[in-house]
């Protein structure tokens, strides 16, 4: 969907007498409402598709009274803009990173720690249980977030890829300049692993690898393929050093205008989206892996992670002390 189509869709909605909830008066609580949703990823991406499916469920359950209009591919801006719009009720639904909420609800930062999860299945068990629910409730209860947390989204594991050589052991990372999300914790993690962490915007990664500003980056399989990074990075190593879930959130300003029945319905379809997105995610990973093999990416699966876990202990010493109790609870989840 391009911007012209979005504008046309908005005008059509107005012509039909529909109103986006952000601009609706309480008296319109039972009128037809179009909930605006945003994501940085394109149509068909697992997080986007799961919200599109949410919209169809809402339409069915309410006989068309509630629906979702999706704005994918950063049409409404990046995650920062999505959060700001949701906080004032200009946008209702957004898929955002845990890192964006961490500065306000510090407890969720435990998910940003290296190797906090044994693998993706362990992460899912944590998110689906008591800890996952507890943190969602803390995000919602915190007045500063101005958000209602509906559920978690799977973003897979983050793995190191580069243009120089396969990374099978710590020694292979020495001297490699690796792009990281601009968070000191992540930079320190890469430096502890022996690489040189470089903070950089996601949109700059392809050209930076192409020109040699960085040797590589780290991310999940679908992003590696979707952003065509395989064209400039031949070697992909399954280090799984970070496994960071994402969040599906709703504007609290808009939430307060909904009836308790509609709130309950949104919580229900939000939890269902958490599980459906997970299935879509694994399908996307499988397709990405096929594409990587097709284009000749050198995929390293035999990474001995024990030494990697050992060398990031200074990162845990620096950032993890306050998460000691939560870390024990996470480790105890089977």
Which CATH number goes with the domain that contains 208? Answer: 3.40.190.170
Q: In the prediction, which pLDDT does 21 show?
A: 56
Q: Which residue range is the domain that position 36 belongs to?
A: 3-155+245-285
Q: Tell me the pairing of strands 196-199 and 147-153.
A: unpaired
* 319 or 103, which is more confident: 319
Percentage of the chain lying above the pLDDT 70 cut: 91
Residues 32 and 109 both lie in one domain: yes
Q: In the prediction, which pLDDT does 166 show?
A: 97
Residues 198 and 256 both lie in one domain: no
Residue 224 — pLDDT band, cuts 50, 70, 90?
very high
Q: In the prediction, which pLDDT does 5 show?
A: 40
Residues 252 and 323 both lie in one domain: no
258-266 average pLDDT score:
97
Report the 10 Å Cβ neighbour count for 248: 26
104-115 average pLDDT score:
94
Tokens of 76: 């409404």
Residues 87 and 38 both lie in one domain: yes
pLDDT at 19 over 70: no
Residues 129 and 235 both lie in one domain: no
User: How many alpha carbons lie under 13 Å from residue 191 in its C-beta half-sphere?
Assistant: 11
pLDDT at 14 over 70: no
Residue 136 — pLDDT band, cuts 50, 70, 90?
very high
Q: What is the pLDDT of residues 269-287, one digit of tens each?
A: 999 999 999 999 999 999 9
pLDDT at 17 over 60: no
Q: Encode burial over 217-240: b for 16+ CB neighbours within 10 A, e otherwise.
A: bbbbbbbbbbbebbebbbbbbbbb
Cα–Cα dist 118/227, whole Å: 27
DSSP line for 86-122: HHHTS--EEEEEHHHHTTTSGGGGGGGSTT-SSSHHH
Q: In the prediction, which pLDDT does 30 show?
A: 65
pLDDT at 157 over 90: yes
Q: In the prediction, which pLDDT does 28 show?
A: 43
Residues 131 and 266 both lie in one domain: yes
Report the 10 Å Cβ neighbour count for 206: 16
pLDDT at 7 over 80: no
Residues 150 and 164 both lie in one domain: no
Q: How far is CA 104 from CA 94, 140, 329, in A?
A: 17, 11, 22
pLDDT at 25 over 50: no
136-144 average pLDDT score:
96
Look over the chain and give the mean of its residue pLDDT values, rounded to a whole number: 90
Q: In the prediction, which pLDDT does 295 show?
A: 98
Q: In the prediction, which pLDDT does 203 show?
A: 80
Residues 73 and 221 both lie in one domain: no
| Length of the chain as a residue count | 334
Q: In the prediction, which pLDDT does 100 show?
A: 80
Tokens of 73: 């591919």
Please tell me the pTM assigned to this model.
0.85
Q: How many domains does the chain have?
A: 2
Which 3 state secondary structure label does DSSP give 181? coil
Residues 297 and 191 both lie in one domain: yes
**End-to-end CA distance of the chain, in Å?**
42
Residues 83 and 147 both lie in one domain: yes
pLDDT at 3 over 70: no
Q: How far is CA 254 from CA 87, 232, 249, 326, 328, in A?
A: 9, 43, 11, 32, 37
Residues 231 and 250 both lie in one domain: no
Q: In the prediction, which pLDDT does 20 show?
A: 53
Residues 12 and 63 both lie in one domain: yes
Do the beta carbons of residue 150 and residue 156 sit within 8 Å?
Answer: no
235-261 average pLDDT score:
97
pLDDT at 265 over 80: yes
Tokens of 332: 């105890």
């Amino acid at each position: 969907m391009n911007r012209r189509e979005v504008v046309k869709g908005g005008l059509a909605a107005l012509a039909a007498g529909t109103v986006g909830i952000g601009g609706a008066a309480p008296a319109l609580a039972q009128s037809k409402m179009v909930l605006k949703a945003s994501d940085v990823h394109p149509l068909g991406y697992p997080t986007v598709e799961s919200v599109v499916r949410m919209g169809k469920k809402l339409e069915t359950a309410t006989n068309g009274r509630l629906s979702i209009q999706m704005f994918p591919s950063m049409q409404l801006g990046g995650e920062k803009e999505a959060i700001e719009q949701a906080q004032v009720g200009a946008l209702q639904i957004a898929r955002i990173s845990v890192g964006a909420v961490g500065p306000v609800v510090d407890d969720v930062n435990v998910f940003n720690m290296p190797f906090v999860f044994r693998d993706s299945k362990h992460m899912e068990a944590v998110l689906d249980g008591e800890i996952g629910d507890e943190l969602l409730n803390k995000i919602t209860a915190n007045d500063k977030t101005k958000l209602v947390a509906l559920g978690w989204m799977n973003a897979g594991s983050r793995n190191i890829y580069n243009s120089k050589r396969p990374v099978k052991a710590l020694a292979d990372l020495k001297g490699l300049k690796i792009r990281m999300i601009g968070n000191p914790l992540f930079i320190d993690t890469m430096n502890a692993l022996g690489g040189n962490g470089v903070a950089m915007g996601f949109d700059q990664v392809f050209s930076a690898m192409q020109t040699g500003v960085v040797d590589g980056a780290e991310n999940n399989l679908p992003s590696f393929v979707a952003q065509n990074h395989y064209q400039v990075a031949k070697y992909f190593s399954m280090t799984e050093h970070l496994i960071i879930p994402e969040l599906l959130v709703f504007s609290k300003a808009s939430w307060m205008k909904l009836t308790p029945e509609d709130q309950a319905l949104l919580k229900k379809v939000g939890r269902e989206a958490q599980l459906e997105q997970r299935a879509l995610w694994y399908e996307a990973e499988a397709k990405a892996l096929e594409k990587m093999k097709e284009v000749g990416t050198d995929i390293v699966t035999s990474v001995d992670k024990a030494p990697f876990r050992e060398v990031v202990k200074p990162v845990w010493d620096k950032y993890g002390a306050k998460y000691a109790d939560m870390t024990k609870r996470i480790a105890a989840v089977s």
